[in-house]
Structure 1
Amino acid sequence: MENNGHQPGKLLNLSGAYWETCTLHAAVKLELFSIIADQALAAQEVARRGNADSRATAMLLDALCAMGLLQKEADTYRNTRDARTFLCKDSPRYVGYMIMHHHHLVESWARLDEAVVTGKPISPLLAHDEDIRRESFLMGMFNLAMGMAPELVPTLDLAGKTRLLDLGGGPGTWAIHFCKHNPQLKATIFDLATTRPFAEKTVAGFNLAERINFVSGDFHKDAFGGPYDVAWLSHILHGEGPEDCRKIIRKTAEALESGGKMIIHEFILDDSKTAPLFPALFSLNMLVATDAGQSYTESEIRQMMENAGIEDIQRTAYRGPTDSGILVGIKK
Structure 2
Amino acid sequence: MKKELSAIDAKYEAQKIAFGPMYFQAVVALRELGILQFISNNRKGVSIETIIEKTEVSEYGVTLLLEAAEVLGVVEIEDEIVKITKVGFFLLKDEMTRVNINFMNDVCYLGAKSMTESIKNGKPEGLKVLGDWPTIYEGLSILPEPAKTSWFEFDHYYSDNAFPEALKIVFRKNPKMIFDVGGNTGKWSFACCKHDPNVNIKILDLPVQLKVAKANATERDLLDRIDFHPINLLDRSQEIPQGADVIWMSQFLDCFSKEQIIQILENACNASSENTTLYILEPFFDNQDYPAAHHSLVATSLYFTIMANGNSKMYRVEVMKDLAREAGFEIVETYPLIGDSYHTILECRKRA
> TM above 0.5, one fold?
yes
Offset, 1:196: 3.0
Decide whether aligned partners of structure 1 residues 173 and 65 sit closer, same or farther in structure 2, where only a CA change above 3 A counts. farther
State the partner residue of 2:156.
142
Is 2:310 the partner of 1:307? Answer: no
Report the secondary structure of 1:296's partner residue: coil
Report the secondary structure of 2:276's partner residue: strand
Question: Amino acid of the residue matched to residue 282 of structure 2?
Answer: E
Decide whether aligned partners of structure 1 residues 233 and 294 sit closer, same or farther in structure 2, where only a CA change above 3 A counts. same
State the partner residue of 2:13.
10
State the alpha-carbon separation in 1 of the partners of residues 337 and 26 from structure 2: 33
Deviations 1:71-110 (A, max 9, x none): 9xx99x9xx9867766xxxxxx798676443222123333
Decide whether aligned partners of structure 1 residues 143 and 302 sit closer, same or farther in structure 2, where only a CA change above 3 A counts. closer
- Measured on the aligned residues, the alpha-carbon RMSD in Å equals 4.4
State the alpha-carbon separation in 2 of the partners of residues 60 and 150 from structure 1: 45
The unaligned stretches of length 5 or more in structure 1 are: 48-52, 87-92
- Tell me if the contact between 1:61 and 1:70 (Cα under 8 Å) persists in the aligned partners: no
State the partner residue of 2:113.
110
Is 2:149 the partner of 1:131? Answer: no
Is 2:286 the partner of 1:284? Answer: no
State the partner residue of 2:231.
217
State the alpha-carbon separation in 1 of the partners of residues 242 and 213 from structure 2: 20
State the partner residue of 1:256.
272
Alignment match of 2:25 (pick from 22, 32, 41): 22
State the partner residue of 1:90.
none
Is 2:201 the partner of 1:187? Answer: yes
Report the secondary structure of 2:204's partner residue: strand
Report the secondary structure of 1:232's partner residue: strand
State the partner residue of 1:235.
251
Report the secondary structure of 1:315's partner residue: strand
State the alpha-carbon separation in 2 of the partners of residues 320 and 11 from structure 1: 37
State the alpha-carbon separation in 2 of the partners of residues 148 and 15 from structure 1: 36
Decide whether aligned partners of structure 1 residues 95 and 212 sit closer, same or farther in structure 2, where only a CA change above 3 A counts. farther
Identity, in percent, stands at: 16
Higher relative contact order (CA 8 A, sep 6+): 2
How many pairs does the alignment contain?
312
Deviations 1:287-328 (A, max 9, x none): 333232233333332233223332243221226888542211
State the alpha-carbon separation in 2 of the partners of residues 4 and 229 from structure 1: 59
Alignment match of 1:101 (pick from 97, 100, 103): 103
State the alpha-carbon separation in 1 of the partners of residues 92 and 295 from structure 2: 28
Higher helix share: 2
Decide whether aligned partners of structure 1 residues 9 and 280 sit closer, same or farther in structure 2, where only a CA change above 3 A counts. same
State the alpha-carbon separation in 2 of the partners of residues 64 and 321 from structure 1: 34
Q: Which moved more, 1:199-208 or 1:158-167?
A: 199-208
Offset, 1:249: 0.6
Q: Which moved more, 1:161-170 or 1:212-221?
A: 212-221
Is 2:175 the partner of 1:161? Answer: yes
Decide whether aligned partners of structure 1 residues 97 and 4 sit closer, same or farther in structure 2, where only a CA change above 3 A counts. closer
Offset, 1:144: 4.1
Decide whether aligned partners of structure 1 residues 208 and 54 sit closer, same or farther in structure 2, where only a CA change above 3 A counts. farther
- Tell me if the contact between 1:232 and 1:262 (Cα under 8 Å) persists in the aligned partners: yes
State the alpha-carbon separation in 2 of the partners of residues 128 and 102 from structure 1: 13
State the partner residue of 1:297.
316
* TM-score (norm: length of structure 2): 0.68
State the partner residue of 1:330.
349
* TM-score (norm: length of structure 1): 0.71
Offset, 1:174: 1.7
Offset, 1:68: 8.9
Question: Amino acid of the residue matched to residue 255 of structure 2?
Answer: G
Is 2:186 the partner of 1:172? Answer: yes
Decide whether aligned partners of structure 1 residues 312 and 147 sit closer, same or farther in structure 2, where only a CA change above 3 A counts. closer
Question: Amino acid of the residue matched to residue 230 of structure 2?
Answer: S
- Tell me if the contact between 2:245 and 2:277 (Cα under 8 Å) persists in the aligned partners: yes
Offset, 1:191: 1.6
Question: Amino acid of the residue matched to residue 234 of structure 2?
Answer: H
Offset, 1:260: 1.0
- Tell me if the contact between 1:145 and 1:174 (Cα under 8 Å) persists in the aligned partners: no
State the alpha-carbon separation in 2 of the partners of residues 147 and 214 from structure 1: 25
State the alpha-carbon separation in 2 of the partners of residues 43 and 313 from structure 1: 61
State the partner residue of 2:47.
none
State the alpha-carbon separation in 1 of the partners of residues 340 and 15 from structure 2: 27
Deviations 1:237-293 (A, max 9, x none): 22222221111011122233322111112243559xxx9544444433333332322
The unaligned stretches of length 5 or more in structure 2 are: 43-49, 132-142, 288-292
Report the secondary structure of 2:164's partner residue: helix
